[in-house]
Structure 1
């Protein structure tokens, strides 16, 4: 019952936040216009969306096998992470006011899911380069999950809350029901790198590329992403090293995604009858 309640509360919050974000960031007129050509928009992004969903399905199907393989490899890097940064997370917890616990718990549980959903919905409903940014974001999601899956299979790593007596698993201690949801989607050894960080940074990186056409979305994404990244350490779930590597993965995935989409779109244009290409409308990152 706790899992159902937490999932429902998270889902309702994300849907409501996404709807408000779309109305505030792109306006009711663009949302209304988008409803008139949903089929065309879906057809345009179908290859990217289909590939992303297929990757998630494969990841879910192979989860048990990958966990067994990881245990068989038994490459535990937790001690190395602690040797690298020591008591950083413990110090961070001691310096952060206890009154912020609820805010960062909501950031970790709801803010992260909000970023993953609100960003693609906002771009899907947008005019101009919106769908180009959506394609980049979907490819970046795939790259993050692909790299994360490989790392989680190769490396066993326990977060600070499971390794240090000086670090408390604040969220799980005060809100134990949240552990049901997190345990349902990930193992407690899925620590290096932090996909909460990498995916949040990827959303922010695409938001930065779209800052001229989506000026209201960029600061909103930045604020939520910053809260999510900080929460992963404050709640004792990730090491600073996980976060640093995750941030690098997030930025790198968007850079690679932009190149991948460039090539895919160029190939698509070249395959049209007569080899016709659309007239350039400017670099998506500069719009």
Structure 2
């Protein structure tokens, strides 16, 4: 960690307190590991005391400061929460996709992982896959934005200067869905090269969310009356993901990511649409 330019740690969650040279601090696992030569103050969101998880009949709200460790508890497959909201069956698989120690799990946050906007960010995958909407705060008030649109590229997001993620809302229709998860990496403990979440909604519609293989999340939606066969799904992926959108780094070449996206997408289609293994 190299942040010797920091002059103050300010306990606040008020966007009106933000000024040039500030950074919002939740878990700080990425902020501290990257370091900075320009930041002057850290605005500590953990002082806000936001409830990590809140439920109602319309769904669930995750505070941006909800830790991965808390989320892991929520995803207990034998627990009452998953029994009530079966869509959360993919939570623990997404937590495991961090390939991180318990120290990271107890500090890293849902909002921080999304704001970092790495293609392989598993909280982006989870919240986008469950049709999550982010509530964003700034000095002028607030707005809502789908998580699938909040991450715009490799390390890029739609947050304006000083804007922060207050929470993520997961709607009931996604939480009541049947979900499935697929992930591939070039090594057993490597960063995700491909991560897909499939969803069969209560109305019979099929939703496929592609992350990690692409620079930003890509969602494909099929109504119950138009569920795809193998050829139709491949054609839809062709149309939705142009070649330049596949990510290219040491964790996987674009050609490999593309081929594995088609492979895992078909596995999800068979499992959810056709009811196969």
Answer whether TM exceeds 0.5 for this pair: no
Structure with more of its chain in helix, by fraction: 1
Q: Which has the larger radius of gyration?
A: 1
TM-score, normalised to structure 2, is 0.32
